[in-house]
Amino acid sequence: MHELGVVFYILDSVKKIAIENKAKGIRMVILEIGDVSGIIPYYLEDCWQWAIKKDEMTKDAELKIETIKAVSYCSDCKKEFDTIKNGKTCPVCKGGNTYLLTGNEVNIKEIEVF
């Protein structure tokens, strides 16, 4: 389960930003997680609930997750398509000369501090 390591990295990052901005604590963090990022949101949320209690600055921090749809691009026919539904095969030309455009990201989108 790499979600715990991801949570620690996110918390370290947002705490650093909060401290730089002279905030007393973190109220909320909004994450963007790609459909094919390899992160399981349920596990991430579970790890989050455990980890935030370890620090006074994060003890009440809420986590919101927004999903980024996995979209691939076909270099042969120049079409975009749903990666989850079609995998690496273009549904238009049936070619395999494709690559992922979006969907493997993990971004800290927003931090709310007090």
In the predicted model, residues of the chain with pLDDT beneath 70 are: 1
- Tally the domains of the chain: 1
Residue-level pLDDT at 40: 96
First to last CA, the chain: 31
The pTM (predicted TM-score) of the whole model is 0.90
Residue-level pLDDT at 1: 60
- One-letter amino acid of 113: V
- DSSP strand pairing (71-74 vs 80-82): antiparallel
Its domain, for residue 103, covers 3-113
Domain at 66, CATH number: 3.30.2320.80
Which residue pairs, CB below 8 angstroms and at least 24 apart, start in 6-14?
Answer: 6/39, 6/44, 6/47, 6/106, 7/44, 7/47, 7/48, 7/51, 8/51, 10/108, 11/51, 11/52, 11/55, 11/58, 11/61, 13/108, 14/58, 14/61, 14/108, 14/111
Angle, CA of 49, 43 and 13, to the nearest 5°:
60
Alpha-carbon distance of 114 to 93, in angstroms, equals 52
